[in-house]
Amino acid sequence: MEKAPRILVEAALRDPEAFEEIVDKHKSMVYSLVFHFFQSRALAEDIAQEVYLELFKNLDRIVSDLHLSFWLRQAVTRKCIDHTRRLKHRRYQPLEDITEPGYEPEESDPFLAAALRKKVAALPDKMRMVVILRFQEDLKLSEISQVLDMPVNTVKTTLRRALARLREKAHNLELEVSYGSARRYPSGNLRAQDATG
Amino acid sequence: MDPLEDILRETCARKTPPADFTAAVMRRVRARELPNKHPRLRWAMAGAIAASLFVGVYMSRQPAPIVSPDADGADVQLLLSLQIAGAKLNKARDALMRPAGRDAR
C-alpha cells in the first residue's frame, strides 16, 4: 500500500470527534456508491452509515489516507453485495421509482438518465459494481480489480459485457427517450455504436 | 469517446448525501464508543459478576452441615453450667447485701 501520511486517521485515533472530518471528506463517494447500486436513498444512507461505523472500529488498521479511500470502496462494495444476497428473496421496490416531491434530478436529461439508471440497476451485482466504480469513481481496471478482489482480465471482460448489454438495451432506450437522445446526440448515434461495438 | 460512456458518467455522477448525514454517523459512533470508554471498569464489573456467580454456585453445592451427637449434648451441659454459675452468683450477692446486724445474731 502507498507510503502516504495518515493525518486524518491519526487525528481520529487521538480524538474520536476528529472522525467527523473523515466522514465529511468521503461521504459523497460512499453514499453515491450505495445509491447507484441500489437506486435508493434510504438504503444508501443506512449502508453508508454502517460502513463508517465499521471504519471507526477498524481505524487502527488504516495505513494511510489513500488506503482509507481504498478501504471505504472495498467495504461499500462488500456491504452492497452482502445486502443484495439478503434481499434476493424479498420483493424489493426501490423508493427511487417514486418521485419525491420537490426532488430535482441533477442530470441535464433526466429521462435518458433515469432510463439508463434502470438498465444499470438491472445488471448482475458484480457487473453493476464494476460499472459504478468505473463511471462514478473513474477508477482504472487495475484499481477496480483490487477493490473487488478480481483478476484484471475478469474486470475487463465484465466491463465489456456490461457495456455490450447496455448498448443492446440502448435500442429500446433510444426509442423510450428519443427526445433526450435526439437533443444530445445526432440521430442513430447509439445505434451506430451498437453496430461497431 | 463512446457516447454511452459519456451518459454513464453523467448518470453515475456522485450524489450529495442528506445534510444531516455526518451528524447521524457521529451520533452512532458516539453511541458505540461510550461502553468502550472505561475498559478497566468493564473488566472489573465482569470479574465481580463472575466471582459472585462462582461463589453462589459453590455455596449451593455445599452439603448441609451435620450436627454430631457430642455437639448436641454440649449445649445442654453449657446451659446447666450457666444455671449453676448464676445460682452461685445470686447467693454471693445476697450474702454481700445482707445487713451486718443480722450476721451478728
- What is the DSSP annotation of chain A? ------HHHHHHHH-GGGHHHHHHHHHHHHHHHHHHHH--HHHHHHHHHHHHHHHHHTGGG--SHHHHHHHHHHHHHHHHHHHHHHHTTS----GGGSPPTT----SSSHHHHHHHHHHHHTS-HHHHHHHHHHHTS---HHHHHHHHT--HHHHHHHHHHHHHHHHHHHHHHHHHTHHHHHHHS-TTHHHHHHHH-
Q: How high is the mean pLDDT of chain A?
A: 78
Q: Give the pLDDT mean for B40-67.
A: 79
- Residues 6 or more apart whose Cβ sits within 8 Å of residue A57: B32
Please check the confidence at residue A175 and state whether its pLDDT lies above 70.
Answer: no
Crossing angle of helices B3-11 and A110-121, in 10° steps, is: 90
**Which domain-ending residue is among A103, A119, A142?**
A103
Chain-chain contact of A113 with B9 (C-beta, under 8 angstroms): no
HSE-CB for A57 with a 13 A CA cutoff: 10
Shared domain for A82 and A112, answered yes or no, is: no
Shared domain for A160 and A170, answered yes or no, is: yes
Q: Total domain count for chain A?
A: 2
The verdict on residue B77 lying in a domain is yes
The verdict on residue B2 lying in a domain is no
Percent of chain A with pLDDT strictly greater than 70: 71
pLDDT band, very low/low/confident/very high, at A176 (cuts 50, 70, 90): low
Closest alpha carbon within chain A to B23: A20
Residue B39 DSSP symbol: H
The verdict on residue B82 lying in a domain is yes
Shared domain for A72 and A129, answered yes or no, is: no
Q: What is the pLDDT of residue B2?
A: 75
Higher model confidence: residue A90 or residue B50? B50
Shared domain for A5 and A93, answered yes or no, is: yes
- Among B11, B17, B28, beta carbon nearest to A53: B28
Residues A41-91 have pLDDT tens digits of 999 999 999 999 999 988 888 888 888 999 999 999 999 999 988 877 565
Please check the confidence at residue A4 and state whether its pLDDT lies above 60.
Answer: no
Domain range spanning residue A196? Answer: 105-197
Please check the confidence at residue B14 and state whether its pLDDT lies above 80.
Answer: yes
Chain-chain contact of A52 with B29 (C-beta, under 8 angstroms): yes
Q: Does A135 touch chain B (CB under 8 A)?
A: yes
Q: What is the pLDDT of residue A186?
A: 42
- Residue A177 is part of a domain; what is its CATH number? 1.10.10.10
The verdict on residue B79 lying in a domain is yes
Please check the confidence at residue A191 and state whether its pLDDT lies above 50.
Answer: no
Q: Which of A72-81, A128-137, A165-174, B20-29 has the lowest mean pLDDT?
A: A165-174
The verdict on residue B26 lying in a domain is no
Say if CB A131 and CB A120 are below 8 A apart.
yes
Q: What is the pLDDT of residue B61?
A: 77
Domain range spanning residue B102? Answer: 71-105
pLDDT band, very low/low/confident/very high, at A154 (cuts 50, 70, 90): very high
- Residue A92 is part of a domain; what is its CATH number? 1.10.1740.10
Q: CA nearest A66: which of A35, A31, A22?
A: A22
**pTM for the structure as a whole:** 0.63
The verdict on residue B29 lying in a domain is no
Shared domain for A19 and A33, answered yes or no, is: yes
- Maximal C-alpha separation, chain B: 145
Please check the confidence at residue A118 and state whether its pLDDT lies above 60.
Answer: yes
- Residues 6 or more apart whose Cβ sits within 8 Å of residue A20: B22, B26
Q: What is the pLDDT of residue B101?
A: 55
Please check the confidence at residue A180 and state whether its pLDDT lies above 50.
Answer: no
Closest alpha carbon within chain B to A165: B4
Q: What is the pLDDT of residue B63?
A: 74
Q: Total domain count for chain B?
A: 1
- Maximal C-alpha separation, chain A: 59
Chain-chain contact of A193 with B16 (C-beta, under 8 angstroms): no
Q: How many residues does chain B have?
A: 105
How buried is A151 (Cβ within 10 angstroms: 0-12 exposed, 13-18 middle, 19+ buried)?
exposed
The verdict on residue B76 lying in a domain is yes
Residues A138-153 have pLDDT tens digits of 999 999 999 999 999 9
Please check the confidence at residue B17 and state whether its pLDDT lies above 70.
Answer: yes
Gyration radius (Cα) of chain B, Å: 43
Q: Provide, as residue numbers in chain B, all residues whose Cβ is less than 8 Å from the Cβ of A16.
A: 29-30, 33
Q: What is the pLDDT of residue A170?
A: 67
Q: Give the pLDDT mean for B47-70.
A: 79
Chain-chain contact of B2 with A16 (C-beta, under 8 angstroms): no
Q: What is the pLDDT of residue A37?
A: 93
Say if CB A24 and CB B22 are below 8 A apart.
yes
pLDDT band, very low/low/confident/very high, at B57 (cuts 50, 70, 90): confident
